[in-house]
Amino acid sequence: MHSSGVPIDTYALCSSLTAASSIKRGDAGQVFDEMPLRNTVCANALLSGYGDAKLWTEAVELIRKMPALSLEYDHFTLSAALRACAGLAAVELGRADMLMEGISPDGVAFVTVISACARTGQLRLGIEYFESMELKFSLKPGPEHYSCLVDLLCRAGELGKAWKLVDEMLNKGHSSCTVPMWGALLNACKDQGDLELGKLAAQRALELNPHNDGIYVLLSNLYARFGMWHEINHLRELMKEKGLRKDVGYSGLKSQIERPESM
């Protein structure tokens, strides 16, 4: 600990900040405010506790006052800020403070913020962040970013645009089509009742990973919507043959597809 330039007492205090913020709303904030020497490490510890306790408003307030306390943001602060904004369903709230305040976001940060936009229904903002990767930050989007974008479009009900994006990627020989991407399309097809496109998405996903039980569950849900019980039984037999344990029942099934996340 000494080698990092942060005294051991500071680490002990930071641990108490994290614990206090997770237990009682006002305790940790009061301790932090009364500290004679406040630093970014302790601020981040408090942010971590606020996040665990889902005290999103308190987290955003702390982040906003850090510059006035001469505390610099680091990548942990950025991650905590994005998590807090997603929790508040207000990515826009911290946009200038978090991405533009002396921090150059990396690929992980964009996965975080685009995923947050998807979860909070902010389609325009999510697309803007995606496009800014190359235009403003000279970052080339990878498979995980395209998966986030497809998920963003699907959650916003823009199934046609999501398919158009995937088609363009395939026509260009793009290798970024991933199982989570196809899973997001399949889930959207299930929600919107598009049987043929849903079957195609499932086929493409299983070509990439034949043992992904979540794809079978999503496809089963799609079949159930159309009363295709014979096909569901066939899926169940296929899963048994492959040694997959997830049962594909007829109702109450939840997607097992891992959507793109950061935080």
Rounded to 5°, angle at Cα 164 from 179 and 209 = 15
According to the model, what pLDDT value does residue 189 have? 93
Judged against a pLDDT cut of 60, whether residue 249 lies above it is answered with no
Classified as helix, coil or strand, 9 is helix
How far, in Å, CA of 59 to CA of 263, rounded? 15
Look up residue 85 and give its two tokens: 């904004």
Q: Is the pLDDT of residue 50 over 90?
A: no
Predicted TM-score (pTM) of the model is 0.60
Residue 235: what pLDDT?
92
Cβ burial 100-110 (10 Å sphere, 16+ → b, else e)? ebebebeeebb
What span, in angstroms and rounded, lies between the C-alpha atoms of 78 and 102?
Answer: 11
In this predicted structure, the answer to whether residue 22 has a pLDDT above a threshold of 60 is no
Is residue 39 within 8 A of residue 9, CB to CB? The reply is no
pLDDT of residue 91: 53
| Angle formed at CA 213 by CA 209 and CA 214, multiple of 5 degrees | 95
End-to-end C-alpha distance for the chain, whole angstroms: 26
157: left (phi over 0), alpha (psi -120 to 50) or beta: left
Condensed to tens digits (0 to 9), the pLDDT of residues 68-99 reads 888 887 777 877 777 776 666 555 545 544 55
- Predicted pLDDT at 215: 92
Look over the chain and give the mean of its residue pLDDT values, rounded to a whole number: 76
- In the chain, the amino acid numbered 94 is G
Q: Dig out the tokens for 9 from the structure.
A: 């007492």
Please list the alpha-helical segments (H only) found in the chain: 8-23, 27-34, 40-52, 56-65, 75-87, 95-99, 107-119, 123-137, 143-155, 159-171, 179-192, 195-208, 213-225, 229-241
Angle at 133 between CA 182 and CA 154, to 5 degrees: 30
Place of tokens 């597809």: 257
| Per-domain residue ranges of the chain | 1-103, 104-263
Q: Are 92 and 128 in contact (CB under 8 A)?
A: no
Residue 252: per-residue pLDDT:
38
Q: Residue 164 pLDDT > 60, yes or no?
A: yes
Reported as a pLDDT band with limits 50, 70 and 90, residue 201 is very high
Name the CATH superfamily housing domain 104-263.
Tetratricopeptide repeat domain (1.25.40.10)
The confidence band for 186, taking pLDDT boundaries of 50, 70 and 90, is very high
**pLDDT over 90 (residue 1):** no
From the centroid of its chain, how far is CA 152?
A: 10
Q: For 123-150, what is each residue's pLDDT tens digit?
A: 988 898 899 889 988 888 888 888 899 9
Q: Flag the least confident range among 12-16, 52-56, 169-173.
A: 12-16
Looking at mean pLDDT, say which of 37-41, 54-58, 110-114, 235-239 comes out highest: 235-239
Q: Is 233 helix (H, G, I), strand (E, B) or coil?
A: helix
Q: Which of 5-19, 66-80, 114-128 has the highest mean pLDDT?
A: 114-128
